Amino acid sequence: MNYNKELQMLKNKTGSSEKWIKLVPGYTESGYLAPEIKRQITPSENNKEEVEEVTLEMARASMGWPSKDIAVNSLKIRNEIFDHNISVRIYQKTDLTGLVPVIVFLHGGGFFGGSLDNVEHPCRVLADKGDIIVVSVDYGLAPERKYPEGLLDCYRAVKWIYEHAESLGIDKNKIAIAGDSAGGNLSIATTLLDRNLGTNFIKAEVLLYATVKRGINGKGELWDASKLEMKEDAELITNYVAGFAGLDAKVDNWYMTPNVHESIPFITPVNAKNLELLPPTLVAIGEFDPLRLQNNILVEKLREAKVPTEYIQYNGMIHAFMDQIGNLAQAEDLMEETVNFVLKVMN
């Protein structure tokens, strides 16, 4: 089934915030939750009780959504460990030959959760949709391994891929990085580190609903749900955003040590002074994602820095919709857009 045909696209241009808007199938305008998303975030009688304190264990256990393997090609998947302690999972079509581009994928999970298994089905789809290899990275998680340890793991993974590219079947000059949520933050932060160190390994980046502005404790105008332009279900969406915002300060506490300032660009990439060094970038966001407003700012700053930037908004979607691959049309479409963007940049 070609989900792209179900997702109409409109180009919305307001100054430097030009973006493609993918409408909810069956809808002709923005402002409405997709029916399946509305069902998911509507409280039931069984989950209306508020939890006073979210623990690390509870937060980790809540990661992920049900998903399906929808790859149609035969895939070769293998696990490797390098530098003694960093695990990666490598995906490629079984009949793939020659040296091809690679997507280094960094899973989401608020820097403290998520795993290779959480993004298994999205990574399968990425490998399925193009002549490309996908390397999913099991970077160190906070609070056991606070910033910058996870970020350094990600950079080490890119460096290892570059140094072993030929044996992995990869063209070392065609390395892209991609990630969702915290993985999106780590993707752009890894690219900034790559540029600051002068290695220039990374030639394209894909930021999927990335968190790019830390240290604001879920407060202020970047968490103002009214700016998401809701035409329906305003209370439901506002409560969803508020619940998400309520964890923001806790995430920072888990991720950073007290002596680390959240404004540094490797934590808050919108603060980077050398964004012009970044490669072509694709940014994707859900219409009602609590991080949409900070992604708007990132896109504006990338374009001001003359970075070739594409911006896609998936209407009716909330945070982490990629996790529902096989159940949401938009999730598969997002993976297809990712592969198409990377291959377009690399060719």
Residues designated catalytic? 181, 289, 319
| DSSP character string of 95-157 | T--S-EEEEEEE--STTT---TTTTHHHHHHHHHTSS-EEEEEE---TTTT-TTHHHHHHHHH
Do the Cβ atoms of 119 and 179 come closer than 8 Å? no
- In angstroms, the Cα distances linking 30 to 123, 158, 199 are 29, 38, 42
Q: Output the CA angle 215-218-222, nearest 5 degrees.
A: 90
Q: Which of 319, 258, 327, 267 is nearest to 292 (CA)?
A: 319
- Using CA atoms, how far apart are residues 279 and 204, in angstroms rounded to an integer? 5
Element (H, E) at 186: helix 182-196
User: Three-class SS of residue 299?
Assistant: helix
